[in-house]
Amino acid sequence: MSSSPSKKIRIGICGLGTVGGGTLAILQNNADELSRRLGGELEVTRVASRSLQKGQAEGVAKTGTDPFAVVNDPDIDIVVETMGGFKPAFEVVKQALSSGKHVVTANKALIAERGNELFAVAAQHGVNLNYESSVAGGIPIIKSLREGLAANRIEWLAGIINGTGNFILTEMAARRCQFEEVLKQAQALGYAEADPTFDVEGIDAAHKLTIMASIAFGIPLQFEKTYTEGISRVTPDDISYAKELGYRIKHLGIARRTERGIEMRVHPTLISRKRLLANVNGVGNAIMVHGDAVGSTLYNGPGAGAAATGSAVVADIMDIARALIAGVDHPVMPALGYQSLNSELPVLSIDDIESEYYLRIPVLDRVGVMARISNVLQEHDINIDAVIQKEAVSASVPIVILTHIAVERQLNKALHAIEALADVSGPINRIRVEPLLGEVRN
């Protein structure tokens, strides 16, 4: 015969949109299962939402529109922040932590840009600030990096961490459509916002990469140093040329430990079509992590949605509740997984990274143009690995070049010189290449 729960943990939710609503539904629908796992009871006793609909918070004793009423309720043990944005989310989280309440947040922007300050407040007041749901929805990547892979020195990680961008590139490849056409489709399906900037320009992915890199390498959060580039310049022709060369184009977040410092960058990337990441399509997310002991591991699943992200929020609630039920009212796990962070480890500028490159160069159909381009690249110590040169169907024809590894600063100088050639008829499209993704990189 099972014993009845011995302790009740009271939860307040600020924000009852997609994620907050999904969290509440899981807590209510799976209450018995969660109680059996905990040996205690989780009860949502208060919610606050700007636009609370009738029947949206059934079974909750106190409802309202003011999130600070949740924070200031003395009976609340854990505050869940699922409002998004910075205002009033930052003030809500900070006040809750300062009041000695544990907090769970799904707010990736808040953690990436203000997390250092909030983690310091949490540590000062001996409470947890958990944020599993801020990265990759239902994929438990924070727990994997911080706990499951704690024995490893993480060498690199790379991921498809924005479902909207991955959907757009997948559809462009399948249907040979232009970016603008597929973006409209993504908006019609609800995958992209009316203002899609955060998704298609890589800001959302940069927030997530910043968080993962800090945990992977034990460095402070440094969103401002994460290089960010979107997918709006990728064309169906680029996708076709990449396929001809044996690659697919994905919008990746990449963080790598090098002898000179840490790389943190989000941009379109050519990866071998044989790699697992190259075959993650649609709105799915996937993250590959390489540790020195375990090698490469892949985490794949839904990166957004009410149930998936709500699942991650509830997992964080469970971690805090277990500690409270066990009588541990202070954090056992440091917020980023390290008792001390390495503030001296530099984050490299994009100019200092080394990569292979895909170049699509529009040129006039003239004799010797390829030789002149090759000479410029050679002058800048950049070697050519492969070339695609199509028959001319107009005055301008693209030359596609795949380079060997080069320093980005040198490549930029070479591209500036090439664009100055009289034979070149327009701007060069450059996409970075990660040919060894999924293998150990020397």
Nearest Cα to Cα of residue 20 among 142, 104, 111, 141: 104
Q: Which residues pair with 298 in a beta bridge?
A: 288
Cβ proximity of 226 and 210 under 8 Å = yes
Q: What is the DSSP string of 243-277?
A: HHTTEEEEEEEEEEE-SS-EEEEEEEEEEETTSTG
Distance from C-alpha of 350 to C-alpha of 207, rounded to nearest angstrom:
17
Decide: residue 247, CB within 10 A, 0-12 exposed, 13-18 middle, 19+ buried. Answer: buried
Roughly how many angstroms between the first and final C-alpha of the chain, as a whole number? Answer: 58
Max Cα-Cα span within the chain: 87
∠ CA 35-40-45, rounded to 5°: 90
Strand 102-105 to 78-81 pairing: parallel
Residue 386 phi/psi, 5° resolution?
A: -155, 155
Copy the structure tokens of residue 244. Answer: 């001809």
Q: What is the DSSP letter of 291?
A: E
250: annotated active-site residue: no
The set of residues, in sequence order, having a beta carbon less than 8 Å from that of 363 and lying 6+ positions away, is 369, 373, 396, 397, 398, 399, 423, 424, 425
Q: Which of 94, 101, 208, 250 is an active site residue?
A: 208
Q: Write out the two tokens for 284.
A: 């799915």
How far, rounded to the nearest angstrom, does the alpha carbon of residue 240 sit from its chain's CA centroid? 26
Rounded Cα distance between 57 and 63, Å, is 7
- Give strand pairing partners of 432: 269, 357
Residue 94 and residue 115: Cα distance in Å, rounded? 10
Active site residues: 208
